Structure 1
C-alpha cells in the first residue's frame, strides 16, 4: 500500500473513531477524573458566643450570619451569609499515573457539613474559634486560629484532627469574578466550575478537534481537558478585592485539592489534609491586591532584554550558520538555546533528548570555542536540564559519566514501595527522578548541575518537568501524596542552589511546572507545551490566558515558546506551524518579558524563524523587543520587587472600564497596550481602550477610550502607548522608525 493510500485508510479510521466517540457521548474530559466537593450547610452560632475581638489590626466579628474579618475598614474575608464556612470529610483521593498524566477519583465515606461554633476567645497569638461539625451519623471537633498577617490581612489556621479533608468556604460578592489557581488556560474568570488542584501534564489538544479525541482514544486521555495544567495551586483573588492563598511552607498546603466556584456567592476549597493554613488579604485596587499578597522574584540578567533567545539544534556548525543568517537579516540575538547539547534521540513523538546532563562532544565538537565565539558577539549560550536521569549505557558514549547508575548505587533515586528505583515511562524510554527530599541526593544533584551543566560555560537553562512524582513513591522524607504538588518548588530550590554553587548569580532558568510559593526561587516561567495553532484550547490564545492567571497567582514573569511546541500528525489533520502562525506568535512575544523561540518536537516538519521567508519578519520584531527595553526595565523591576505581573489583564490596569472585561488583549506594565492577532487569516483586531489617550506605536495615530477596530496586517502589530507616559514620545519614535 502506498503512503497516500495508508494515509487515506488511517484518516477513514480516525473519522470512524470520532463518530463512535460522539455516539457514546465522549465529553473531552479525563474519564478517570471524578471530582466532588463537600458542600457546607447551615451555620449555628451558640448563644453567648457572638461578638467582636481584635488581633492586631484585624477585627474578628462573629454573628448569626457568619464570620467577618475587617482591617482598616475593609473586609478582608467573610463567610458565606448564614452558611458554614467549614466542612470536612473522611475518605480518600485515588490517583493513577500514566506518562505524567494523573487521574484522580475523590471518594467521601463520611461528610460533616453543619458547623456549630461553641466558643470564641482571645488567646496569646490571636483569636481562637472552636466548635463541632455534624454529619448524618456523628460529629467531629474543629478549631480555627486567626492572627494578624505581618504584611497585611490575616492568617487562618484550621484543624479538624479526625478528618481526611477540610473544606474552607469563602464568601464573595454575588457574581464577583474569580482569578488565579495557578496557571489556568480556559478563562481569566474561573467562575462556575470545579478545578482540580493537581500538578500534571497539560495535555495535547485539550479539546481541540480532531486531535483531542484521537489522542484520548490512542494514548489514554493524553488530550487533557480545560483544567489540566503543569502549574496548579490554591491561590486566588476575587473581583471584590479579596484574596486567599494557602501558606506555602506548610506540607498540607500542597495536598491535592478541589476548588468549587459554582456558587456565585462563595468559593469553596476542599484540601485533602486534616489541617489548612491560609493567608487572607484585601486591596484597594486589583493591582494593590495582587502585589500585596505576593513576594518578588529574582531579577533577570540584562542580556535577556537585548534581543531574542533563539532555540537551535543540530551541532556546532549548524548553530554557527543559523546565527550568522539571523544576524545578517538584522535580528537582535542575545542568546541561543541549545537543548540538544546532551545529544538527541528519535521517538514516536518526535525528536527527544538524552537526559544524561553532559555534553555530547560528537554533536558539539569544539564546544568551548563555540561558546567563546558567541560570547564575543554578545550572545549567551543556554541549554536544558530536568530532574530525571536515564541510563547512559545505551548512548554508547565512553566520555560521559552514567549519572543514573551513580544515583542508583548511592540510593539517590525516588523509589517504588518495594525499594527499587521508580522508573517512569517517558514515551520511548524510562527515567527516574532524583529524590529531592534527601539532602545527600539533592546535594549530589546540585553538584552535577553546577559542574556538568553550568560548568560547560552556559548562562542558564530550561529547567523542565517537575510534575511527575508518583503518589505511591517512597521518599527519603515526607509523604509523596503531599510532596507531589510541592515537587516543582523543590526542583526550583535545587536549581537555585546549583546556580549559587557555580557562583553564577546571573544564571537565568525558566520553568513550566509550578507550585505554591515557587516564585521566591525562580524568576522566569513559560506556558508549557502549546499546540502549533491559534486555538483557545491549546494554542496561541490559550498561552495568553495562562499568562493572565499565572500572573495573579504568583508568577510575575511568564512567556511562551514562540510558535508553540507540539506538532502532531493526527491523520485527519497534520498539526504543523503555518507561516502566519509563527509570525503572529513572534509579534506577541516582541511585547513580552522574554523573546524565546522553540523548534518544537518535529523541527523538520515545521516553519522556523531562521527559514528564508521568516528571517526578515523575525529580525524586525527582535528590534522592536530591543527598542522597548528602556520601558520594560521599570516593568520588570516592579515585577521582581513587588510581585506585580509584567503582562497584565485589563482588570489589573483599568478596573471598572470595558478594557477590564477583555481577554484578547494585554498590557505590558500599565502604559503599553497590545492587541495581538489571535485568529488566522485576519488583518484587523478589535481594541478596547481604557480611559486616557493611546498612541499607535507604528502609525502614531491617537485613540480615545472605547472599542475600535484597528488594522493589524502581518508585520504591523497593533500596539499602543499611553500618551502621558514619560517615554511615550521616545517609544513611538524608536519603534515607528523600524517600520519606515
Structure 2
C-alpha cells in the first residue's frame, strides 16, 4: 500500500462555520429552500473552456498511455488508456472543455446528533483553463497551466496536474491549485448515459448512483431517509437523506471497467447528474487520488483493496452459529439460552450490550457510556461467562468512543472514566473546555484519537474492562460524529472528521493485537472511511428502521451490504429485524409509525442467513417489537435459520479466503460476475453469495412469490430442486417464495454448493414453514 505523495505547495481549505441548528423555525426554513439548494449545488463550478499552446502528443507512463490533443486541434482534450486495451478509455476529458477548475467557497456546516449538512457559499469560481506545459520525467507526467474566472480576469491561479504510475494497473493523480483564494478543487471527465456507477461506500437508497449527487461525509444514517415518517424528524434534523451514510467512500467502479478513488479525507462530492459529464470536487486546493485499470469489476476491487486494505476472515467460533442479541440480565439470558439449547440452536455468542447498565431516554432504552461492568445488572457475570464458555459460546458487549459521568453505584468499585479522560486531556475540546456532544437527551465527551496518549489509555480500557472481564467480542459503535469545530491535539476538524472512524477501529484492532488475541477476539463497527477495511474485523450496517422501507428498512439493509461490499467492506451484516422503531399507536394509525412485525422479522432472518454474520438486535424499543424469543414459533424459526446459516459455514470460509487475499465481498452485486449483462446493472433486490448462490429475498409484506432475474446459466432452486434460467441468455421469472422458503438458488454444475446441500439434508432443513401469526 503506497501512501500518496505530499503536496509540493501549501494547501488551502475553505473557511467554515459550524452550528447546531436547534431552532425548529430555522430548520423549517431550511427544508423549504432545500429544492433550490439541490438545484444550485451541482452547478456550483460549471464547465469552462480550455485553450493551449502545447501541440498534440502522446506519452507512455509505465503501461499507461496519455494522449493529448492540443494546439493543432480545435477542441483540446486529454485521454488515458492502457496498453492492455488501448480502445478502452480509463479517463477522458470533454473536448474543448476545462477538466480542472477551482472555487473560493465558504462552508456552513450544521451538525445535529451526528447528522451533517454542508452548504457551500461561493465567492468566486475559476472555470476556464489553459494548458501551458506538459513535461514527462520517467514515470511522472506534469501538466501545468492557469485558471481564469468567468467574471474577472484579474486573478489567474496556477494549477499543476501530476500523473504518476504506482503499479502496472494503478495511476496516481494530484491536482494542486496554487493560489491562496482557491480552496476547492474540481476535476471533470466524460461519461455516457449507459455507464453505471457503483461503490461510494455503504449507500442505502441507490446501488447504481448514475444520475445522483453523492456527498462523501461520514454521518449518522438518519431515521427514515425519505421513507414516510413523522415530520418532526425532519424538523429535528435527524431524518437523514438518501445519501446519509455511516461509511461513505470517495470511490467508484463502473460497468465499463473504470474506477477512481480519492485519498483526501476532506469532504468531497461526486456529481453524476449530467448524462455526459461527471465531476469530483473536494474541499481543498489539492485533490489526490488514483485511477485503476482492471479487466473485470473483481480485478478493480482487488486493485482498490491493495490501497484500502482487506478484512480478515471471521474467527472460526463466530462462523459456526448465531450471535444472540440480548438485554435484561443473567436470569433472562439463561432462560432464553435454555430454550435455544432445547432446539439444538447453533450459537456462536451472546451479545449483551447492556453490560454497562441502561438509562431511559427519549429514544427508548440507552446504555450508560462508562465502559465498565454494571454488577447490579449482571451480579453473577463471571459465572455466566464461564458457563457459556464451557458450552463454547462467547460473550460480547458494547463500546463507543464517548464518555459520560455515571452516578456512583453502591457497593461497586468503579472508576470514573469520564473524569479520568478529562483530567488527562484525552477528549475533544471546544475552546478550552470539553466538547460535550448531544445524543438524544444527554451530552457526552468524545475521545481525541489524534492524541497518542488517549489512544493508549483507551486500549487499556478495552484490554482490562472488556477482554479482561471475559468478553471475546463487542460492537464498536459510533465514530461518525467527530465535530468539525472540535479542537484536536494534532489535526484540524475539516480534515479529521472523515478520518476519525478509521482511527477508532484502529484503536480497537490494536487492543486485540496487543492482548495477543488476533484471530480470536472480534469487533464489528458501523462507521468507516477509506482505510477502514485494513483495520476492521467486521462491519455492520447501522440502524435500519423496523420497517419495509426502501430507504431505511429491510431493502436499505440489502443495498447497503451490496454497495459496501463493492467498496471494500467485504464482511458486513445488518441487525436482524432492524433497530429503530416509532411504536406509537397514534402515529401507526396515521401510517407514519412502525414497529417490527413477525413477518418482517422472519423475512430478515431468511435474508441474513445468507450473509456473513447472523445476529439479532432487540432494537430501541424491545418491548414494542416481536423478538426472536417472543414465543415458541419465533424461537423455532430463529433456530431453523441459525442452522441454515451454520450449514453454509464451510462455503463462507472459502469466500473469506477471497476476502482476505483479494478483497472480494461475500455479498455481491451481479455486475461483479456478469459485467456484460445490461439487465443486471440496475438490480437492487437480489444478490450473489460468492459466485455460486443467487438470493432474492422478499422485501415487501404479504408476498408469497418474487420476480427473480437469472443471469445466463441454469440455477437450481435450493428447496425444491427445480431448475430455472437459460444456458444462453438471462431470464426473468416469478418464483414461489412462501415464508420459510425464500428464493435461493445455486449455480448448476458448481461444486461448492454440494457441501451446503449435504449439510442441509443431513439436518432435514430443506422443508420448513413458519407461522404467520401476528
Q: TM-score, normalised on structure 2?
A: 0.89
Alpha-carbon shift at residue 405 of structure 1 (Å): 0.2
The change in CA–CA distance for 1:444 and 1:728 in structure 2 (over 3 A counts) is closer
Pair 263,338 (structure 1): closer, same or farther in 2 beyond 3 Å: same
The correspondence of residues 720-735 of structure 1 with structure 2, limited to 5 A, is 720-735=745-760
Relative distance call for 1:93 and 1:228 in structure 2 (3 A) is same
2:12 match = none
Cα deviation 1:338-377 (Å, max 9, x = unaligned): 1001111111110100111111111112212211111111
Distance 2:465 2:30 in 1: 52
Check whether the contact 2:227–2:551 (CA below 8 A) recurs between aligned residues: yes
> Would you say 1:238 and 2:254 are equivalent positions?
yes
Q: Which residue is 1:656 aligned to? A: 676
Partner of residue 670, structure 1: 691
Separation in structure 2 between the aligned mates of residue 343 and residue 223 of structure 1, nearest angstrom: 28
Matching residue of 1:58: 64
Give the distance between the partners of 1:358 and 1:296, measured in 2 at CA: 31
Superposition deviation, residue 549 in structure 1 = 1.3
How far apart are 1:230 and its partner, in Å?
1.1
Q: CA RMSD of the aligned region, Å? A: 2.1
Superposition map of 1:82-481 within 5 A: 82-124=96-138, 126-135=140-149, 136-137=151-152, 138-150=155-167, 152-162=169-179, 163-211=182-230, 213-217=231-235, 220-247=236-263, 253-294=264-305, 295-393=309-407, 398-416=412-430, 418-481=431-494
Task: Give, in whole Å, the separation in 1 of the partners of 2:39 and 2:398.
Answer: 32
- Tell me by how many angstroms 1:458 deviates: 1.3
| Cα deviation, residue 392, structure 1 | 2.5
Matched, 1:711 2:728: no
Distance 1:223 1:468 in 2: 16
Per-residue CA deviation, residues 705-738 of structure 1 (Å, 9 max, x unaligned), is 3111111111112111112111333433433531
| 1-structure distance, mates of 2:614, 2:661 | 21
Aligned to 1:541: 555
Retained in 2: the 8 A contact 1:447–1:501? no
After superposition, the C-alpha distances for 1:67-106 in whole angstroms (9 at most, x for unaligned) are: 1222223433222343222110011221121211222111
2-side partners of 1:536 and 1:27: how far apart? 25
User: Structure 1's 478 and 703: CA in aligned 2 closer, same or farther, altered over 3 A?
Assistant: same
Question: Following TM superposition, by how much is the alpha carbon of 1:34 offset from its aligned partner in structure 2, in angstroms?
Answer: 7.9
Map 1:497-536 → 2, pairs under 5 A:
497-505=510-518, 506-536=520-550
74-83 or 627-636: bigger deviation: 74-83
| 1:580 is the counterpart of 2:599 | yes
Contact 2:112/2:238, CA 8 A, preserved across alignment:
no
What are structure 2's unaligned runs of at least 5 residues? 1-26, 71-75, 768-774
| Distance (Å, rounded) in 2 between the aligned partners of 1:23 and 1:159 | 37
- Separation (CA, whole Å) in 2 of partners of 1:543 and 1:151: 36
Distance change >3 Å, CA 348–CA 397, structure 1 → 2: farther
SS in 2 for 1:158: strand
- For residue 623 of structure 1, give the secondary structure of its aligned residue in structure 2: helix
> What whole-Å deviation, never above 9, does each CA across 1:108-157 have from its counterpart, x for those lacking one?
11100111111101125511110111112122100011111226220001
| Alpha-carbon contact 1:35-1:258 (below 8 Å) kept | no
Count of matched residue pairs: 711
Which residue number corresponds to residue 693 of structure 1? 714
SS at match of 1:575: coil
**Counterpart for residue 495 of structure 1:** 508
The 1-side partners of 2:270 and 2:256 are apart by: 18
Partner of 1:69: 80
Instruction: Determine if the alignment matches structure 1 residue 79 to structure 2 residue 120.
Output: no
Is the contact made by 2:49 and 2:127 (CA closer than 8 Å) also made in structure 1? Answer: no
CA contact (8 A) 1:38 1:113 kept: no
Mapped to 2, the partners of 1:127 and 1:702 lie a distance apart of: 55
Whole-Å Cα distance in 1 between the matches of residues 560 and 391 of structure 2?
35
Q: In 2, are the aligned partners of 1:548 and 1:649 still within 8 Å (CA)?
A: yes
Partner of 2:23: none
User: Any idea what SS the aligned residue of 1:268 has?
Assistant: strand
Change (3 A) 1:532 1:29: farther
Find the aligned partners of 1:142 and 1:49 in 2 and give their Cα distance.
Answer: 19
8 Å CA contact 1:81–1:171 kept in 2: the answer is no
1:305: how far off? 1.1
Secondary structure of the residue aligned to 1:280 is: strand
